[in-house]
């Protein structure tokens, strides 16, 4: 049986991108997520977070932890990926209804054009 591996570097990179997009400091990330700033420093140095810290940071950033697991059982692919992607945009409270529709149309069009490649 193959073991799954948590990709701590990819998770930290995703946190960094979220932090940059929100234009906040790491101290603010720590405060908002309810974790210690020193934990974030250790993660920046390649250390893995404990499970509670992982959960808190994933919730803060809106990340799915399973996206950072490599190996193990092969992930079952959704039957209709485009519908799952569209649902993510429809659920985004920061987008207006018109923006949600526009993004969904762009994604659907790109998917149709590129799926043959």
Cβ(27)–Cβ(62) below 8 Å = no
DSSP collapsed to 3 states, 1-59: CCCEEECHHHHHHHHHHHHHHHCCCHHHHHHHHCCCHHHHHHHHCCCCCCHHHHHHHHH
Span 24-60, pLDDT tens digits: 999 999 999 999 999 999 999 999 999 999 999 999 9
The encoded tokens of residue 72 equal 């193990």
Complete domains list, the chain, with CATH:
4-71 (1.10.260.40), 81-114 (no CATH)
Percent pLDDT > 90 in the chain is 42
Cβ(105)–Cβ(111) below 8 Å = no
pLDDT of residue 23: 93
The encoded tokens of residue 101 equal 């529709």
User: Full-prediction pTM beyond 0.85?
Assistant: no
Q: Is 38 exposed, middle or buried (0-12, 13-18, 19+ CB in 10 A)?
A: exposed
The Cα–Cα gap between 66 and 108 comes to 25
């Amino acid at each position: 049986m193959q073991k799954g591996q948590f990709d701590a570097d990819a998770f930290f990179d995703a946190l960094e991108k979220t932090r940059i997009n929100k234009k906040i400091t790491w101290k603010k990330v720590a405060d908002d997520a309810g974790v210690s700033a020193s934990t974030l420093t250790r993660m920046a140095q390649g250390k893995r977070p404990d499970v509670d810290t992982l959960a808190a940071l994933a919730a803060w950033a809106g990340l799915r932890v399973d996206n950072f697991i490599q190996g193990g059982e092969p992930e079952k692919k959704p039957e209709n990926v485009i519908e799952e992607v569209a649902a993510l945009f429809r659920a985004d409270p920061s987008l207006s209804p018109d923006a949600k529709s526009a993004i969904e149309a762009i994604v659907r069009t790109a998917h149709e054009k590129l799926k043959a490649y």
